[in-house]
Amino acid sequence: MIKFLLPFSYFYFSRVKSLMGLIFLLSWEIIPNLIILIVLNQSGLNEGLLSFVKGYIVFISFYELGYIMNDTFSLKNEKDGRQRLGTFEPSKVQTFLMIALRLIIFLGVSWYAGFWKMALFYYFYIALGLIFTLHNLLKNKDLKVITFVNLALLRFFAPCIFFIKSYLFVQLLYPVLMFYVLYRTLSYMDSKGILNMKSKESDLFKFAYYALFLGLSILISLANQHFLPIYANVYFLFWTIGLIAFRKVFK
């Protein structure tokens, strides 16, 4: 119970679980968000870091409610559901405590950060809550792919969306959709048996996925006269190379 109690701990011990998983999370979600806030949004190091911490705590406190719902309710209605909590089966009281603590932190940090003054805050988290609930309730695996796409997009932008300029959000849509959302969706579909991608976990597939997008990224960059698609494409290409090298050295 203790190790699942605090926000992020539930995510870590039920989904991340390992050093490799943590490195994956840092390089695939957290570092890109920090680059967006500090460099692209020109917030500066201190302000960018503080913005990320506030945005991420609010996000993970809320998002883990969906994980808890999935692991304690939806799992019972899934034929191929994965038991992510090991031998831990939370009682109703323990589940209530985990939910209550996350809601308190979500509301407290939202108030402290001033998010409650923003209309976008309400739109974003109402949408996230509805989509995650639908994702957990749907039994049709094909439809769950659609809700997963929604969740992946919202998940990536959650730590930074209340701080970045509107034009930057528009510029980020292509790289986030192609290099993050689509990749995660293919992995999700493969894990659920919807796709049969035998090479999906191979190093060649991971490298080729990002390498084959370079032409389109260059075209979109030239057409829109900004190079963010290329920068993002190159980042994730080198991210893949780095992960491959790390695995080969430490396996």
pLDDT digits 0-9 by tens, 199-237 = 888 889 999 999 999 999 999 999 988 899 999 999 999
Q: How many residues belong to the chain?
A: 251
Domain that holds residue 67: 1-164
Interval 2-38: pLDDT, tens = 788 889 999 998 889 888 888 889 989 999 999 999 9
> End of a domain among 164, 180, 204?
164
Same domain, 25 and 4: yes
Same domain, 66 and 178: no
Same domain, 183 and 152: no
**With contact defined as beta carbons under 8 Å apart, do 239 and 198 qualify?**
no
Whether 74 has a pLDDT exceeding 70, the answer reads no
**Residue range 235-251: average pLDDT?**
85
Whether 197 has a pLDDT exceeding 90, the answer reads no
Q: How confident is the model at residue 161 (pLDDT cuts 50, 70, 90)?
A: very high
Whether 55 has a pLDDT exceeding 90, the answer reads yes
> End of a domain among 164, 182, 207?
164
Provide DSSP, the chain: -GGGSSTTHHHIIIII-SHHHHHHHIIIIIHHHHHIIIIIS---HHHHHHHHHHHHHHHHHHHHHHHHHHHHTGGGG-TT----STT----HHHHHHHHHHHHHHHHHHHHHHTGGG-HHHHHHHHHHHHHHHHHHH---HHHHHHHHHHHHHHHHHTTTTTTS-HHHHHHHHHHHIIIIIHHHHHHHHHHTTSS--TTTTSHHHHHHHHHTTHHHHHHHHHHHT--HHHHHHHHHHHHHHHHHHHHHHH-
Q: How many domains does the chain have?
A: 2
Q: What is the pLDDT of residue 77?
A: 63
> Which residue's entry shows tokens 């191929």?
80
**Residue range 50-59: average pLDDT?**
97
pTM of the predicted structure, to 2 decimals: 0.91
Same domain, 29 and 49: yes
Whether 249 has a pLDDT exceeding 90, the answer reads no
CA dist., res. 90 & res. 83, Å (int): 12
Same domain, 159 and 191: no
Q: How confident is the model at residue 91 (pLDDT cuts 50, 70, 90)?
A: confident
Q: How confident is the model at residue 45 (pLDDT cuts 50, 70, 90)?
A: very high
CA dist., res. 51 & res. 139, Å (int): 37
**With contact defined as beta carbons under 8 Å apart, do 193 and 142 qualify?**
no
Q: 108 or 242, which is more confident?
A: 108
Same domain, 158 and 181: no
Q: What is the pLDDT of residue 248?
A: 78
Work out the percent of the chain whose per-residue pLDDT is above 70: 95
Rg (the chain; Cα; Å): 19
Same domain, 172 and 221: yes
> End of a domain among 107, 142, 164?
164
**Residue range 129-144: average pLDDT?**
93
Q: What is the pLDDT of residue 209?
A: 95
Whether 86 has a pLDDT exceeding 80, the answer reads no
**Residue range 78-95: average pLDDT?**
75
Whether 80 has a pLDDT exceeding 70, the answer reads no
